[in-house]
Chains A and B, each alone.
Chain A
Amino acid sequence: MDSQLPIKQSFTKESLKKKFRLSEFLAEKIISSIAFLSIAIIFLIFIFVFKESLPLFSLGSDAKAKTEAQATTANKPESYGASSEELKPEVYGAETTEDLKPESYGAETTQELKPETYGSETAANDDLKPESYGDTPKEDLSVAPADEMMNEASQNQEGSDKTWSTFFSTEWVPVSDNPRFGLMGLLIGTLKVTIIAMLIAGPLAVLAALFTSCFASKRVKEIIKPIIEMLAAFPSVVIGFFALMVLASFFQDVFGYDSRLNAFIGGVAMALAAIPIIYTISEDALASVPKTYTEASLALGASKWQTAFFVVLPAATPGIFAALLLGVGRVFGETMIALMATGNAALLSANPFESVRTFAATIGSEMAETVFGETHYSVLFFIGSLLFIFSFALNAVAEFYVKGKLLKKFQGK
């Protein structure tokens, strides 16, 4: 067969026999496995991040009442100290003589309890301690088996109860005798920076993309596009440095606010990071709108502006939405710029010119300092999981919204 020239292929069973092409088979398998691997990696990252924060979840719901009671004591170190067993009889005595109200004593969960009452309650909890401790290790093993870290974490069990309830407080004081992990301040800070950054980057990038795809001449487009895209290659530490040294001083001179590094500066700097991403993807989306739409619109007597805003932009909605989402993702997870430009103070305020601390910056700055297995450590990983969950939820909602509502609105049913 080898030496013969391929003269004529006849349709014998032999020539039509199914061939096994090894290289194609391998290539196909490798490509598909790589695709699945990337999905698997994302899930594994999430699982590992979440696993590290598991000690926070190790107490069952049956201990909830106790958790609440301890949460209130958490903010009062004094009364916490008073709960030692030596003081117990005195506190008890004082309680009954001074208050004389058995009803308030019974209502454990009411928030207006007085310091004396706290003392007595923790004392009561001390009595329960052996039982509840007996329960928890078993649960730990069932949730995450064979983890030596759990033993360390169980020392912080008492702390992790408190941790949960301090999540909704405003203070972020992770390292202290009485640590408080108020995520609200961080959440508000993150949202504030994200909103500011998107308010700046979204319109700028989308309109710039609209300009390049609808108005700019070919030459201008060839200049603008690569330059804006080059901005995407800027390391965020450079942008952060620029914000820290130049933008912060400049805007402080302009607006005259107190704190030099604040949410606004962080937002501006993150907008710089997000613009190239939003721009590139929106531009691609706009450029892929068929030219026939543009022609049809112009032939109807529409001006270039009307065509761009009422035909091209709506037709590119899904792509632009995807671009904005990626921009939000970038800003939300941006660490270095947040660390350098936002001031890193977990304040709870609506003022955009106050310093803020974001989730990502918190992880970035504190992870290296914290003790392995400690509550603080778990909380940081929990924040990481929150970042994950947030971006998943955002994507899911956006997907649903774009498919369900926006497309129908712009493009008919």
Chain B
Amino acid sequence: MKDIKIKVNDLSLYYGEKKALNEITMDIPANKVTALIGPSGCGKSTFLRCINRMNDLISNVSITGQMLVEGVDIYDKNVDVVNIRKKIGMVFQKSNPFPKSIYENIAYGPRINGINNKAELDEIVEKSLRQAAIWDELKDRLEDSALGLSGGQQQRLCIGRTLAVSPDIILMDEPASALDPISTSKIEELIHELKEQYTIIIVTHNMQQAARTSDHTAFFYMGNLIEMGKTNSIFTKPMQKQTEDYITGRFG
């Protein structure tokens, strides 16, 4: 792990009184895919949402510890949450394109960042859609409503929308859980291509998906980080008994 993008120190998260994350300490490498696995309710999605401070939206959440992104603590009082989210994009479990045209969906991000030049926007839209491997399918229908696309297309559109604001880190919260195998494999391919330029963190329930797509894997259980390491070693010779039980399907 030479290039560490995100460094987490003793991060704990409480929903009111309930402790949802228990002193997580981990390093997430740059330009790699890190998979977070674990049974439902283990805190992996909560942890993912900590990275771009989406948990701020939920009332009565309190967080202790440090989350250093490139050495900057994003929970510092002087940090603007809007700027964090520009650098750390997120793709959600359920595809959620805006009820606008395909073009406007992609152009929304650049627009709010002050880019209003039509030619520049056109370029960004095309580039983002190409990166999301969906340009060829959509180039003739950019003015159509994004809600008319299939589930897989919508999810790739959402990835393209995230790419359009050129983030450093992309968080994916079970991006393929609601998709059919073909769409899933397209998204996995996409993740593979994107990792050259972006640091990707992906939450998944699908063990095969974690094994296929990721370089590193972290196993969460009951709000604790049980084990983290190279995907190969986690899946072949896990250090912890719990990890082995989970990936072999004995519980969870």
A296:B158 contact, CB within 8 angstroms: yes
Residues from chain B with Cβ under 8 Å of A315 in the complex: 98-99
A226 to B111, CA, bound (A): 36
A301 on the B face (CB < 8 A) = yes
A299 to B89, CA, bound (A): 6
B92:A412 contact, CB within 8 angstroms: no
B112:A306 contact, CB within 8 angstroms: yes
Which residue of the partner chain, among B101, B109, B158, contacts A411 with CB atoms under 8 Å?
B101
B85:A296 contact, CB within 8 angstroms: no
Residues from chain A with Cβ under 8 Å of B82 in the complex: 301-303
Q: Which of the segments A95-103, A204-212, A287-295 contacts the partner chain?
A: A287-295
B101:A299 contact, CB within 8 angstroms: no
User: Closest 3 interchain pairs by CB?
Assistant: A412-B101, A301-B86, A412-B145
Number of interface residues of A (CB under 8 A): 24
- For residue A214, give the distance in angstroms from its CB to the closest CB of chain B: 12
Known: A218-B59, A296-B92. A314 touches B100 (CB 8 A): yes
Give A411's nearest chain B residue, CB to CB: B99
A310 on the B face (CB < 8 A) = yes
A300:B94 contact, CB within 8 angstroms: no
Give A316's nearest chain B residue, CB to CB: B99
22 contacts between A and B (CB under 8 A): A292-B92, A295-B54, A295-B57, A296-B92, A296-B96, A296-B97, A296-B98, A299-B89, A300-B85, A300-B109, A302-B82, A302-B109, A310-B108, A310-B111, A315-B98, A411-B99, A411-B100, A411-B147, A412-B144, A412-B146, A413-B143, A413-B145
B100:A299 contact, CB within 8 angstroms: no
A297 to B98, CA, bound (A): 9
B34 on the A face (CB < 8 A) = no
Residues from chain B with Cβ under 8 Å of A303 in the complex: 82, 112
12 new A-B contacts at CB < 8 Å, known A296-B97, A412-B104: A217-B59, A218-B59, A294-B57, A296-B96, A296-B98, A298-B57, A300-B112, A301-B84, A301-B87, A314-B99, A410-B100, A411-B145
B96:A293 contact, CB within 8 angstroms: yes
B85:A301 contact, CB within 8 angstroms: yes
Residues from chain A with Cβ under 8 Å of B101 in the complex: 411-413
Q: Mark B89-120, 1 if CB is under 8 A from A, else 0.
A: 11010101111111010001101110000000
> A residues within 8 Å of B by Cβ?
217-218, 290, 292-303, 306, 310-311, 314-315, 410-413
A293 to B161, CA, bound (A): 13
- For residue A278, give the distance in angstroms from its CB to the closest CB of chain B: 22
A303 to B85, CA, bound (A): 10
Known: A315-B98, A413-B145. A297 touches B92 (CB 8 A): no
Known: A410-B99, A412-B104. A300 touches B89 (CB 8 A): yes
A306 to B108, CA, bound (A): 10
Residues from chain B with Cβ under 8 Å of A412 in the complex: 99-102, 104, 143-148
Residues from chain A with Cβ under 8 Å of B104 in the complex: 412
B112:A293 contact, CB within 8 angstroms: no
A300:B162 contact, CB within 8 angstroms: yes
A293:B98 contact, CB within 8 angstroms: yes
B83 on the A face (CB < 8 A) = yes
A394 to B125, CA, bound (A): 39
Give B110's nearest chain A residue, CB to CB: A300
Give B171's nearest chain A residue, CB to CB: A299
B234 on the A face (CB < 8 A) = no
Q: Most B CB atoms within 10 A — which of A290, A296, A299, A302?
A: A299
- For residue B171, give the distance in angstroms from its CB to the closest CB of chain A: 8
A315 to B113, CA, bound (A): 20
A218 to B145, CA, bound (A): 33
B83:A301 contact, CB within 8 angstroms: yes
Q: Most A CB atoms within 10 A — which of B100, B104, B111, B143?
A: B100
